[in-house]
Amino acid sequence: MATTQDTIAAIVSGIQDKKGRGISIVDLSHIITAPCEAFVICTGGSPQQVDAIAGSINDTLRESLGEKAIAVAGLDNCQWVAIDYGTVMVHIFLAELRDYYDLEHLWQDAVIEAVPDLD
């Protein structure tokens, strides 16, 4: 079974493979009421890119770790896709929805790590 850090690294790799931007890793592991240990949040430039990022994450985790998502929501319109991997939740947004929901700051005491965009 993969560790949370292995899962996060594979998710980031899947996002970067499809040129997702603005990757944030939100560490929730020390927050008792949090639904998981971490959020990985990123932005896609269009619904098609959001869909491609979600597919890339799925493929990367299945191939590298043998992990499958517990649940996936939002693929019907690909404006905000949420993928549940148990200890890690992935959120792939279009920019305007990411700004509106501002998940990074839902828990003020969470530690946020920004992953530099690949060019």
What structural domains does the chain harbor?
4-115 (3.30.460.10)
Given a cut of 80, whether residue 1 has pLDDT beyond it is: no
Render pLDDT for 16-59 as a digit per residue (tens, 0 to 9): 999 999 999 999 999 999 999 999 999 999 999 999 999 999 99
- What is the spatial order of strands in the sheet that 88-94 belongs to? 71-73, 80-84, 88-94, 38-44, 21-27, 111-115
Structure tokens, 97 = 């929805």
Render pLDDT for 75-116 as a digit per residue (tens, 0 to 9): 999 999 999 999 999 999 999 999 999 999 888 889 999 999
Distance CA 94, CA 72 (A): 16
Distance CA 62, CA 65 (A): 6
Asked if 54 and 43 touch (Cβ cutoff 8 Å), the reply is no
